């Protein structure tokens, strides 16, 4: 999983210059109530990165804080009710696939209460292990990075 670190640059969250990075996102590696890694499979007809496996998340709206965007996005995409005290911030990254032009605030969330009701954007894909995820042919750089970061912190196995 070290190759993911070559495609990702970490940034200091306190020094994000919005004039340099006007496009900001949140991304979250989700673990289901039954301890499965939940990722989003983008359709082949998607405008951005069609067919790619990605974490759940999306744009930070004007005036919105990253955590507010995360709660909103997980609710919109999974029907999830997120308790922010259960969310683990993993930092801020930018990825090579976007030529390092976009910022992503990255998180981990374990849906211990089973609040996910479905998948309302793309298709939810459930994995038993990191190794099974890594068999996927097309995935966003952040997915590999998140898998590695969460594994290092013993959040997933």
The pLDDT of residue 98: 87
Is residue 157 in some structural domain? no
pLDDT score at 2 = 47
What local confidence, expressed as pLDDT, does residue 71 receive? 98
For residue 37, tell me if it sits in a domain.
yes
Structural domain boundaries, residue 122 = 3-152
- pLDDT for residue 92: 97
pLDDT attached to residue 29: 98
Closest listed residue to residue 156, CA positions, set 12, 29, 22, 27: 29
In a domain, 138, yes or no: yes
pTM of the model: 0.93
CATH number at residue 35: 3.90.79.10
Is the separation of the CB atoms in 55 and 143 below 8 Å?
Answer: yes
In a domain? residue 75: yes
Q: How many domains does the chain have?
A: 1
Instruction: Work out the burial of residue 54: count CB atoms within 10 Å of its CB; fewer than 13 is exposed, 13-18 middle, 19 or more buried.
Output: buried
What's the CA gap between 92 and 105, in Å, rounded?
4
Per-run averaged pLDDT (10 residues), the chain, 157 residues:
68 89 95 98 92 96 95 98 97 92 96 96 95 94 95 94
pLDDT of residue 6: 66
Nearest Cα neighbor of 94 from 29, 3, 12 is 12
What does the pLDDT read at residue 18?
A: 83
């Amino acid at each position: 999983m070290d190759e993911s670190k070559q495609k990702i640059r970490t940034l200091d969250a306190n020094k994000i210059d919005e004039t340099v990075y006007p496009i900001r996102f949140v991304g979250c590696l989700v673990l289901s109530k039954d301890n499965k890694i939940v990722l989003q499979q983008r359709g082949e007809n998607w405008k951005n990165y069609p067919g790619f496996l990605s974490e759940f998340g999306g744009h930070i709206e004007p005036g919105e804080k990253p955590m507010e965007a995360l709660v909103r996005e997980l609710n919109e995409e999974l029907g999830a009710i997120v308790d922010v005290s259960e969310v683990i911030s993993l930092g801020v990254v930018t990825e090579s696939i976007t030529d390092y032009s976009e910022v992503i605030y990255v998180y981990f969330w374990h849906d211990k209460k089973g609040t996910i009701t479905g998948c309302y954007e793309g298709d939810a894909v459930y994995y038993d292990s990191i190794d099974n995820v890594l068999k996927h042919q097309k995935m966003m750089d952040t997915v590999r990075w998140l898998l590695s970061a969460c594994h290092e912190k013993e959040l997933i196995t």
